[in-house]
Amino acid sequence: MRERTDAKVIREEILPYLAPRIKSLLKNREDRFFRGLEEIRLRREKPLCLKIGDKDYGINRRGEVTMNLNDSYVVNEEDIYRTIASISDNSLYVFEEDIKRGFITIPGGHRVGLAGQVIYKVNEIYNLKNFSGICFRIAREIKGCAENILPDIVENGRILNTLIISPPRCGKTTVLRDLARMISDGINLPEAKNVVIIDERSEIAGCYQGVPQLDVGIRSDVLDSCPKAAGILMAVRSLSPQVVITDEIGRQEDAAAVYECVNAGVAVIATVHARDIEELSKRPILRELLASKSFKVGVVLSRRRGPGTLEMFYRWD
């Protein structure tokens, strides 16, 4: 697996897709500028916006970084459509299914979110057109970020059913990816495990054309763009996993699939949006799931000292 530094990733995997004017504003930045860059947002007739940590920055027409977004370069229609043409290789129809979900995944595992006019037919999203916004979300691997979590979710060599809890943008998916890698490769474990990742939003493994772009371990299989509930059942029935990993459960069908997985003797590691156990317990479906003792360990994360800050462990006995 190649080394992925922030500057190298952004220069090689993100900048080539941007419209020429925006690319020119970014390409001469020093490497340190790209450290911590999480999103590049293009909104038609609005300032170019770069999210670094919890702050938004822009770049003015003189090429200077500014926190005054009113002075930032204003994205125009040509910027939007030249960027769209670049990420779709001038063949939007090839990406119709991705566009229905509101994003396209590009090489490197980066997600490009799309905003525009939604075409809705027969109770489902049929298409998206007249694009007005594009959000590049930079995919990052932080290998070793789950080292302090893994020992607490293992008991006698077995992976315990674990729920990773946090609000958005607190590193849940990054931690989940690293757990998959460590468990699949047998790092700090008595033996490696077969892992199946249900990656409904293509964020954990960052698959491009079905191939993971991020390191999720040598014994991991990925069901990319697959609804969680269907994917969990498919994995148990056909891929013989010892551990199933998935992101952001919360629907009734997710809970039912988790029950079946646990009853089949397969460990589950999943994430959920909530600030803490108390908030989690207020959601009826998740409250039922906790009451059933399906999960044994809760891991609460925050951004207090940066994404992935470990706040507490919780054991359901």
Same domain, 132 and 154: no
Tell me how far apart the alpha carbons of residues 78 and 173 are, in angstroms, rounded to a whole number.
Answer: 33
Tens digit of each residue's pLDDT (9 = 90 or more) over 191-247: 999 999 999 989 999 999 889 999 999 999 999 999 999 999 999 999 999 999 999
Same domain, 18 and 156: no
Residue 145 within a domain: no
Strands 55-59 and 49-52: antiparallel
Among 137, 171, 191, residue at a domain's last position: 137
Higher pLDDT, 173 or 126: 173
Residue 127 within a domain: yes
Same domain, 217 and 118: no
Same domain, 232 and 192: yes
Same domain, 62 and 205: no
Q: Is the pLDDT of residue 2 over 50?
A: no
Same domain, 237 and 118: no
Same domain, 67 and 24: yes
Partners of 105 in the beta sheet? 111
pLDDT band at 174 (very low <50, low <70, confident <90, very high): very high
Partners of 75 in the beta sheet? none
Tell me how far apart the alpha carbons of residues 305 and 311 are, in angstroms, rounded to a whole number.
Answer: 10
Alpha-helix runs per DSSP H in 148-283: 172-185, 228-238, 252-263, 277-280
Among 82, 111, 137, residue at a domain's last position: 137
Residue 82 within a domain: yes
The pTM of the full predicted model, rounded to 2 decimals, is 0.86
Residue 143 within a domain: no
Please report, for the domain that includes residue 195, its CATH number.
Answer: 3.40.50.300
Q: Which domain holds residue 210?
A: 150-315
Q: Dihedrals φ, ψ of 235, to 5°?
A: -65, -50
Among 137, 172, 193, residue at a domain's last position: 137
Please report, for the domain that includes residue 133, its CATH number.
Answer: 3.30.450
Tens digit of each residue's pLDDT (9 = 90 or more) over 78-126: 999 999 999 988 777 667 777 777 888 899 999 999 998 888 777 776 6
As for how many domains the chain has, the answer is: 2
Same domain, 69 and 169: no
Same domain, 119 and 169: no
Strands 103-106 and 220-224: unpaired
Same domain, 57 and 195: no
SS3 at position 215: coil
Strands 297-302 and 309-315: antiparallel
